Structure 1
Amino acid sequence: MMTNKKLYAAIVENAERINNDQVNQINEELTQSNDFLLRAFAESYNNALESFTAQTIELQKQQNEAMISSYRSVLEDLKNEQLNNSKHIEQLVIEVKNICIEQNRSINITLESLSESIKTSVSEMKNMIEQETNNHAILTKEIHDYLTNINQEVTKQSEIINSSSEFSKKTCEFIARKVNDLSAESVSKIDKIREILSEFSDRQDNTNVKYSKEMKRSIEDGFEASTEKISTDIKPILEEHYKEISETDKKIEKISSNYENQFNLIVDSLQKAQNLSSKDVQILEKLVEAGKNEL
């Protein structure tokens, strides 16, 4: 008969053995379960990964195709736009070329018109100046002829006075010679005649002196009156002539200034419209300078 102690030891031993077996069995089952789970998880993971990879590849393929299609569409649009732009640019080039041709034609017409206008104005100014010069020469000649006539008249009057005095002197000398030729017996008569002649001579001298003074005064008064009349008559003519010359100079200066302003405006407009070359501008400046020299 087993004692309690042995029985207890046997129970404990049996319990430990059973426990160890169960633990080993549990561990083995856990290991198998873990292996199964790991294999299932790995298989599921691989399947999911393969599916995800396939879907990703398909999606990437679709995206690439969409992107390529979009790129092709954009490139096609760009190509069409460039083609349209090229046609538009060609059209613009043609239009600009036509505009340049028209502007060149307009510029040439403007330059020709400006040149003709300058030449016409220069010719008109030359004719005006020649006319004024001729008028001045005619007026100067008229004044000179008038003064010459007055001088000739004064000289003629002076010659008349001198001739009268010379005649009186010769008359006295002639009478004196005749008196000396008379005979002695006629001395008394001759003395009387001489006295009469002397008195006549004195009177004649007084008359000649008076006549000379009156003639001189008349000539001086006439000369002064003529001079004053000439000054009075000529002064407004000269003033009018100088006034016309001054007005002509002002007109010439104004016309020159107007042409210069018109030229500057035309050059500025042309430079802004088509950027004229410096050579063209120099040609225009020389043309206007030539016009000024003609003026």
Structure 2
Amino acid sequence: MAQRLAPTLKLQNGVEIPQLGLGTWPMDDAQAAAAVRQAIGLGYRLIDTAENYGNETGVGQGVKASGVARGEIFITTKFNRQWHSQNGVREAALGSMKRLGVEYIDLLLIHWPNPGQGRYLEAYEALTRLLEEGLVRAIGVSNFKPAHLQTLFDAGFVPHLNQVQLDPYRQRRDIVAIHKARGIVTETWSPIDRNGALLEDAFIKGLAAKYGKTPAQIVLRLHVQSGYATTPKSADPARQAQNLDIFSFALTDEEFAALNALDNPAAPVLDSDAFGH
């Protein structure tokens, strides 16, 4: 199947991030190396990893083995709460760079706010210094709720991106509204749901039949048509190709609205006030 590169979104500082990339959790190093090399060969240019995934070395190996120039690949990684300090963030970044085998990180995120620890503001301030030094091209956060974002805003900081759990059943409208108002890019994790129930939704399956696509492709199309970046995980080459093949069709306004109407405020979301690492 011939593939095209995903379009990009522009972050506040002008850096462009591909709208669709490869998620790598919970792959180990060997799995990540193979999946990343394979995905880049198919046309992926955004690769998402994290210190906590334990596969940054494999991701770096896959990028190198792909034969595609480093400057054409956008690598996102994230660091854990133990590094939430001025010196810690630098140490985390250097550690990730060493494991990845790169001289800079395209996007570095605070993985979880860990508000009980109370140091995510300090961590974000340290990220801005890495940005000034050129060790990272863009900075942001992951799993930040409105109150966590407000703490950053009150200190004069606006992250380039917030990566959050979001799918048609969990649309996180309060957070997305804040992102739009502040010019923050929304990136979605677990975009097609974890338990598979979403992909069995009758309306989504009906759209898949109409367009000759899979239910996952319909959901991913909704994400990108909403203006989000997203990183579905797959190690299977056929599914990787399918996930990337969502830019040759568009949902109608009516279909888009109907998919947005699937939002279920009662759907469980991992609570970043209680969970983090």
TM-score of the aligned structures, taking structure 2 as reference length? 0.13
- Determine which structure has more spread, i.e. the larger CA radius of gyration: 1
* Higher relative helix content: 1
TM-score of the aligned structures, taking structure 1 as reference length? 0.13
